[in-house]
A = this chain, B = another copy of it.
Amino acid sequence: MPTFREKLSAAAKKNESLVCVGLDPDPALMPIEDVAEFNAAIVEATADLVCCYKPNIAFYEALGISGLEALRRTLECIPQDIPVICDAKRGDIGSTAKAYATALFEWWGFDAATVNPYLGRDSVEPFLEYADRGILVLCHTSGPGSVDFQDLTVERDGVQRPLFEEVALRTRSWNERGNAGLVLGATFPQQMETARQLCPDMVILAPGIGAQGGDLESTVRSGVDAQGGGLIVNSSRGVIYASRGRDDFADAARRAADELRRAINAARE
């Protein structure tokens, strides 16, 4: 079985794409009612244009158990060679983190998951133990509240740096199996650049393009690794709700994903 990293690289190469489509169903925005059907149409329209998919599990949980059933059906229609990141931002003490890792990696079978570092190493380690999965640690997030704590200057061993840099450095030190990565919001390109310098080889997941206002060019320039890859640019609303028409939403999603793919590739050159 290939690792998340291998699967991601292969899909990125095959589809010439760093695009991740965020599968975030919102009943107020969806042109059709059935979540699994909506997602299946989006996946069918975009599977040759992406390097991965990223359902944010919050949107399924908001629909209750039937929402989670729809997520299960969605996973069944994603081609085997496209990795799926569960955006779950879990974080709990060791014994409980183990239960979350079991849920996401064993019961659901996701290739990767986002995790929250606030509870420290024992909250991240049970995820990292799955050497073939990707563990994307929240470093500097895309929302306005990210500055409340993540940008505060912290001191350790006499050195001062912003908290998100400390998170990047700790994640690097925990990354014994090479399966850790970072989440850096596209709305903060300076922080992304700094984190990329601290962690030159890690995968970076960059949400915040589109609806949230992140700048694509600076995200790509500051986020890619030395080989021009190692970056996942997520768009959710900008792709899946590109049109809210029942008859053309899938085509519009395809066009939006392809436009994003081309714009990223232009910025990589």
**Chain B: CB-nearest residue to A156:** B152
Q: Are A65 and B58 in contact (CB under 8 A)?
A: no
Q: Are B62 and A150 in contact (CB under 8 A)?
A: no
Q: Mark A42-84, 1 if CB is under 8 A from B, else 0.
A: 0000000000000010110111110011001000000000000
Q: Which residues of B contact A116 (CB under 8 A)?
A: 89, 91, 116, 118-119
A contact residues, total (Cβ < 8 Å): 60
- Which residues 145-160 of A sit at the B interface, judged by CB distance below 8 A? 145-150, 152-156, 160
- Which residues 132-176 of A sit at the B interface, judged by CB distance below 8 A? 138, 141-150, 152-156, 160, 163, 166-167, 170
Q: List 12 A-B contacts (CB under 8 A).
A: A56-B96, A56-B99, A59-B96, A87-B92, A89-B91, A91-B91, A116-B119, A118-B118, A118-B150, A120-B147, A123-B145, A152-B156
Which of A62, A68, A122, A170 gathers the greatest number of chain B CB atoms within 10 Å?
A62
**Is residue A244 contacting chain B, with contact meaning CB distance below 8 A?**
no
Q: Mark A95-130, 1 if CB is under 8 A from B, else 0.
A: 011011011001110000000111111111000000
Residue from B96, B143, B160 within 8 A of A122 (CB atoms): B143
Q: Which residues of B contact A138 (CB under 8 A)?
A: 118-119
- How close is A84's CB to chain B, nearest CB, in angstroms? 16
Per CB-CB distance, the 6 closest pairs between chain A and chain B, nearest first, are A120-B145, A120-B148, A93-B143, A61-B103, A58-B99, A122-B145
Q: In the bound complex, how far is the Cα of B163 from the Cα of A58, in angstroms?
A: 27
Q: Are B122 and A149 in contact (CB under 8 A)?
A: no
Residue from B103, B142, B156, B167 within 8 A of A62 (CB atoms): B103
- How close is A226's CB to chain B, nearest CB, in angstroms? 29
Q: Are B65 and A99 in contact (CB under 8 A)?
A: no
Q: What 5 new A-B contacts, CB under 8 Å, besides A61-B103, A118-B138, A163-B163?
A: A61-B107, A65-B65, A65-B69, A120-B146, A155-B155
**Chain B: CB-nearest residue to A24:** B96
**Chain B: CB-nearest residue to A138:** B118
Q: In the bound complex, how far is the Cα of B118 from the Cα of A166, in angstroms?
A: 13
**Is residue A94 contacting chain B, with contact meaning CB distance below 8 A?**
yes
Q: Which residues of B contact A255 (CB under 8 A)?
A: none
**Is residue A90 contacting chain B, with contact meaning CB distance below 8 A?**
yes
Q: Are B143 and A120 in contact (CB under 8 A)?
A: yes
Q: Which residues of B contact A91 (CB under 8 A)?
A: 89, 91, 116, 118
Given A58-B100, A65-B69, residue A146 in contact with residue B119 (CB < 8 A) = yes
